Amino acid sequence: MKIIVQKFGGTSLDTAEKRGLAARHINSAIESGYSPVVVVSAMGRAGKPYATDTLIKMAEDIHIDIQPREKDLLMSCGEIISSVIMVQTLKKAGIKAVALTGAQAGIITDNNFGESEITRVDPKRILKIMDEGKVPVVAGFQGMSTEGEITTLGRGGSDTTASVIAAAVKALYIEIYTDVDGVMTADPNMVENARILDRVSYNEVCELAYQGARVIHPRAAEIAMREGIPIKVKSTFNNNGGGTLIHNQGMRGIKGDRPVTGVTSRHNIVFVKITPEKPAEYATGLIVFKILANHGVSVDFINIRPGAISFIVESRVKEKVESILKEYDFNFEIADDFVKVSVVGGGMTGRPGVMSRLVEALTEKNIAIYQTTDSHTTISCLIKREFEKEALNALHDAFKLED
């Protein structure tokens, strides 16, 4: 049996017409001799009747406080609805299919509601359904804890579901169907001449995702990389092939072609700066990282200087961070008018001049850089939010990504 996993995002399922196109891709795989396992997200985004955010708002409108257990139960519903509706769509197209929750698909997790980790996958039921000549349609984003509780996997959970199932059933590859034609050099809403990338490495797509690009979730890419499973990112609405292939095989040869693969940005951030009132208090200020970690707050873009300590956190925890810093009597400032702009590429490792070109491109546009950080595959800059689009276009041009 030649097994593949096909994952469909919510914007590929929110109308009957789109679900029909998804069914066509599934049928095409069957006609090509493959046995597909289908993974689905909740239908549509916030505002759509069965989108996860819509369901949460329905509950919060009654009472703002939702316990983590009940919230996971609620959040799991969108994907379950999608799986049943997709099964009905496939049956209408003459394809036998069976809907499964994450638990029924054998996905076992820990007890961390909202951000659970998958501990193991038992694919017996999926394989039995396939042996019967039917297509398993699995609700993404969810599993079941060892205590029998329904849990969700956090942001990008349906991508993670696709990867762990692919590993468990030894799939040949994963297809991620979305509303764009593949992984792009930049967000086309920001950069007009952004183009589709034919192929990228797992590391590059992980970094693009970490730095704000809405492609595949990095956790899913890491699982696929570990298992050596190629990922194809395609458009649900395009039947002409194309898309982006994510893998590492043969990538070594393109390392020297260009240093940068893509540019991206994170604007859902707040910048935090802690200034000791006296130089002697500097060491005391460093304890902020331990305090925030103990409160479950993740920090990024850390800069430690004798006169100040700075970092960024996600916008959603801004009030929580303010409250913590006030409680511990830190002297701090918080600003939400910054963005983190990044260039990503496996070819920049050991290659001189990349930082220079980045700085020149932004300086020529009079865009001030407040902070920088770099790794083997990424260079990031902190700039004012008002210059986000201009900066992305300047960097895209500077590294000739439109070619």
Q: Is a pLDDT exceeding 90 seen at residue 347?
A: no
Q: Give residue 50's pLDDT band: very low, low, confident or very high (50, 70, 90).
A: confident
d(CA 216, CA 246): 10
Quick one: what percent of the chain has pLDDT higher than 70?
Answer: 94
Element (H, E) at 188: none
Under 8 Å CB-to-CB from 1, ≥6 apart: which residues?
A: 35, 130
The answer to whether the beta carbons of residues 216 and 209 sit under 8 Å apart is yes
3-state secondary structure 44-65: CCCCCCCCHHHHHHHHHCCCCC
Q: Where are the beta strands (DSSP E) in 101-230?
A: 107-109, 118-121, 135-139, 142-145, 150-152, 174-178, 199-200
pLDDT digits (tens, 9 = 90+) for 280-308: 555 666 789 999 999 989 999 998 887 88
Asked if 81 contacts 92 with a C-beta cutoff of 8 angstroms, the reply is no
How are strands ordered across the β-sheet holding 150-152? 118-121, 107-109, 142-145, 150-152
By percentage, how much of the chain surpasses pLDDT 90? Answer: 64
pLDDT of residue 179: 82
CA dist., res. 394 & res. 204, Å (int): 20
**What is the arithmetic mean of pLDDT over 27-32?**
96
What pLDDT, on the 0 to 100 scale, is given for residue 280?
Answer: 53
Q: Which of the four pLDDT bands, split at 50, 70 and 90, describes residue 83? A: very high
Residue 95 in contact with residue 23, Cβ under 8 Å?
yes
User: Quick one: which of 69, 74, 96, 99 has its CA closest to 84?
Assistant: 99
User: Residues 147-177: pLDDT tens digits?
Assistant: 999 999 987 889 999 999 999 999 999 999 9
* Chain mean position to CA 264: 13
pLDDT of residue 254: 40
- Show the CA angle centred on residue 227, arms to residues 13 and 161, nearest 5°: 30
Q: How confident is the model at residue 304, as a pLDDT?
A: 85
Given the structure tokens 């491109």, which residue do they identify?
Answer: 361
Residue 360, helix vs strand vs coil: helix
DSSP 178: E
Residue 154 DSSP code: -
Which of 102, 97, 105 is CA-nearest to residue 126?
Answer: 105
Identify the three-state secondary structure at position 225. Answer: helix
Q: Is 42 helix (H, G, I), strand (E, B) or coil?
A: coil
Among 92-101, 314-323, 342-351, the range scoring the smallest mean pLDDT is 342-351
> How far is the C-alpha of 220 from the C-alpha of 19, rounded, in Å?
23
pLDDT value of residue 255: 42
Burial 118-149, CB ≥16 within 10 A → b, else e: beebebeebbebbeeebbbbbbbbbbbbeeeb
Cα torsion at 81, 74, 269, 336 (round to 10°)? Answer: 120
Query: What is the model's pLDDT at position 131?
Result: 97
Residue 32 CA to residue 172 CA, distance in Å, equals 13
Q: Does 350 have pLDDT greater than 80?
A: no
pLDDT above 60 (res 207): yes
Stated length of the chain: 403
What pLDDT was estimated at residue 256?
Answer: 46
Query: How confident is the model over 376-396, as pLDDT tens digits?
Result: 889 999 999 999 999 999 999
- What tokens does 101 get? 């929750």
Average pLDDT, the chain: 90
Spatial distance between the Cα atoms of 371 and 240, rounded to a whole number of angstroms: 43
Contact predicate 233/220, CB 8 Å = no
CATH code that applies to domain 3-179: 3.40.1160.10
> Taking the alpha carbons of 89, 95, 101, 102 in that order, is the dihedral positive or negative?
negative
Q: Is the pLDDT at 240 greater than 60, yes or no?
A: yes
CA distance 396 to 70: 44
Please check whether residue 393 is in contact with residue 400, taking contact to mean a CB–CB distance below 8 angstroms. Answer: no
pLDDT per residue over 85-105, tens digit each?
Answer: 999 999 999 999 999 999 999
d(CA 272, CA 292): 12
Torsion of CA 265, 267, 269, 273, to 10 degrees: 80
pLDDT at 252: 45
> H-helix or E-strand containing 379?
strand 378-384
120-129, 215-224, 249-258, 299-308, range with the lowest pLDDT? 249-258
Q: What are the domain boundaries of the chain?
A: 3-179
